[in-house]
Amino acid sequence: MDIELLRTFLEVKNTRHFGKAAENLYLTQAAVSARIKQLESILGAPLFTRFRNNLQLTVTGERLINHAETILLAWERARQDVSLKKRQKHVLSLGATSGLWDLLMQDVLHVTHCSLPELALRAEAHGPETLIRHLMERTLDLAMIYEPAKLNDLVSVPITPAELILVSNKPNQSLETVMSHGYVSVDWGLSFHMSYAQSFPDASPPVLHTTLARIALEFIFKYGGSAYLPYRMVAEYMDTALFQVDEAPVISRQIYASYHRENSHTQEIESILDVIRSLEVPVEDGSLDTIEI
């Protein structure tokens, strides 16, 4: 089967429009339609239905998504693996949530590239569920996540803590003032939100919800406000552009490294974990209460 059929299917799935998919793939709309019909013929079932000019996936189409993504990832990895330069031994794929790339993994990628030049690297950003699925499907070698993967086939080891502190763009703000106006909520996972709800049961609704700490940081710089952000990320701005809020507890999140037990590159994975452990991680001075979750 032509791998481009699956690539076309996923593009139509993402755009929900044959014309837009054709533009993104630099094809004619007729070519996209022909590819979808060919794939439907191979599978023996329709992949899309039109309802009131709205393109919807069929049950078969929904089932195909994960398989198509896995096949394309495996193909891309195989293509990269066979075209390695002579000095490179393996392709190793690293994955993390977008927030963890901002917080930690960008530095890990740079140091790994310099420390282990024999590795060709792939970097991916996904949600935790997708990262775990890719680990199980062997299309991802190492994932950094906030919650340990509770699957027997996966190894999860605590690798480094991330201390989240409440910061504001104004100095000497009371906790009550900060939590009543301009709070930006960052999605640090269920455990964090449970601790936050216990610590601040009467807090006002946030002005912004986001999954990315970088978005929260830029929002506060532009419009003011407060947020729980990693000390590692804000250390350079402390006492100049940002100020730690007195009385607010520090909430410590553990970061876990997960990989498949039968991964054939465990030696290389351990080398990368050593790189992560060697990175200098700024921590808060410990003068405030810390909640470990």
- With 0-12 / 13-18 / 19 or more C-beta atoms within 10 angstroms meaning exposed / middle / buried, residue 78 is exposed
| Chain segment 253-268, per-residue pLDDT in tens | 889 999 999 888 888 8
Q: What is the distance between the alpha carbons of residues 187 and 189, in angstroms, rounded to a whole number?
A: 6
Three-state DSSP state, 254: strand
Per-residue confidence (pLDDT) for residue 135, from 0 to 100: 93
Low-confidence residues in the chain, pLDDT < 70: 1, 52-53, 80-89, 280-293
Residue 228 Cα distances to 70, 170, 256, 290, angstroms = 35, 14, 20, 13
Q: What is the distance between the alpha carbons of residues 270 and 104, in angstroms, rounded to a whole number?
A: 17
Q: Which of 183, 287, 175 minimizes the C-alpha distance to 228?
A: 183
Provide the sign of the torsion angle of the four alpha carbons 94, 99, 100, 104, taken in this order.
positive
Per-residue confidence (pLDDT) for residue 163, from 0 to 100: 86
Q: pTM of the predicted model, to two decimals?
A: 0.68
| Chain segment 209-236, per-residue pLDDT in tens | 998 899 999 999 999 999 999 988 899 9
Per-residue confidence (pLDDT) for residue 25, from 0 to 100: 87
Q: What is the distance between the alpha carbons of residues 168 and 183, in angstroms, rounded to a whole number?
A: 9
